[in-house]
Amino acid sequence: MSSQSGQARPRHVAVIMDGNGRWAKNKGWPRLVGHRRGAERVKQIVRACPDLGVNWLTVYAFSTENWKRSTEEVLGLMGIFARYIEREADSMAAEGVRLRFIGARDRLTGKLSQLMDGIERRTAGNTRLNLTVAINYGGRDELNRAARLMAERIAKGYLGPDAQLDLADFLDTAGHPDPDLVIRTSGETRTSNFLPYQAAYAEYEFTPTLWPDFTPDHLAEILDKFGMRERRFGGA
């Protein structure tokens, strides 16, 4: 891994991990093999982030639209998520990683939801890296749920007409810093309903590298490029 000193580094990096299926297809393997390899790549990137100056990492694992995929692939993905949590719980706790999840949990299995709850509690005190995994997440769905929650609080009288309302306080990411940089792998240039509110002023990087091939060195190179960008946030 390489990095250039003296440059601004993103505190929070978000990643659309795309290309697992194509990676497997290119090799003549089933799509789930690509997803399993992608999960292994997540572990490598998570371990590299603190040394690269990244304190927050958010990864897009499964969108609200991914339910349209075959039943075999969806069930396989849910199994991969559960095994990842079970296998990585000890190392995350030991390495200071705090793991949280965003997205609606109503369609997830009871076992997966319990595993998610358990590792969130177990790693709640960790501070070396904040890892957020988006499962059954969609930006529009998140905004709709946040708006409903805000309306409910107002209707019940918890929030009066003079309250300083901020929609961000009702999002799944309440309390998280906004991403400074969003990376999408695989060559696609869509944002795919990922963090539309939070990433309003993020820098974007689209790389042709498929996610299973995306190494810490690729990440370090993109972080160096980020340091050369001028971020004005609407100013002159």
Quote the pTM value.
0.93
Return the pLDDT at 54.
97
Residue 57's φ and ψ, nearest 5 degrees, are: -130, 125
Confidence tier at 4 by pLDDT (50, 70, 90): very low
Torsion angle of C-alpha atoms 108, 111, 114, 119, degrees rounded to 10: -100
Residues 6+ positions from 84 with CB-CB distance below 8 Å: 39, 42
Binding-site residues for Mg(2+), in ranges, read 18, 203
Confidence tier at 208 by pLDDT (50, 70, 90): very high
When the candidates are 2.40.160.20, 3.40.50.300, 3.40.1180.10, 3.40.50.1370, the CATH number that belongs to 12-137+178-226 is: 3.40.1180.10
Quote the DSSP letter at residue 63.
E
**Beta-strand pair 203-206/56-63:** unpaired
Report how far residue 173's alpha carbon sits from residue 104's, in angstroms, rounded to the nearest whole number.
12
Binding-site residues for substrate, in ranges, read 19-23, 31, 35, 63-65, 67, 69, 184, 190-192
CA distances (Å), origin 27, targets 23, 75, 227: 7, 22, 35
Q: Name the 3-class secondary structure at 120.
A: helix
Report how far residue 136's alpha carbon sits from residue 190's, in angstroms, rounded to the nearest whole number.
18
Q: Which residues are catalytic?
A: 18, 66
Q: Which helix (H) or strand (E) holds 121?
A: helix 110-122
3-state helix, strand and coil shares in percent for the chain, rounded to the nearest 5: 45, 15, 40
Taking only the tens place, the pLDDT of each residue in 42-64 is: 999 999 999 999 999 999 999 99
Taking only the tens place, the pLDDT of each residue in 153-183 is: 888 887 766 667 789 999 999 999 999 999 9
Query: In the chain, where are the structural domains located?
Result: 12-137+178-226
Residue 198 structure tokens: 């939070």
Query: In whole numbers, what is the pLDDT of the chain averaged over residues?
Result: 93
Residue 79 structure tokens: 């199994």
* CA of residue 160 relative to chain centroid, distance: 34
Report how far residue 213's alpha carbon sits from residue 5's, in angstroms, rounded to the nearest whole number.
26
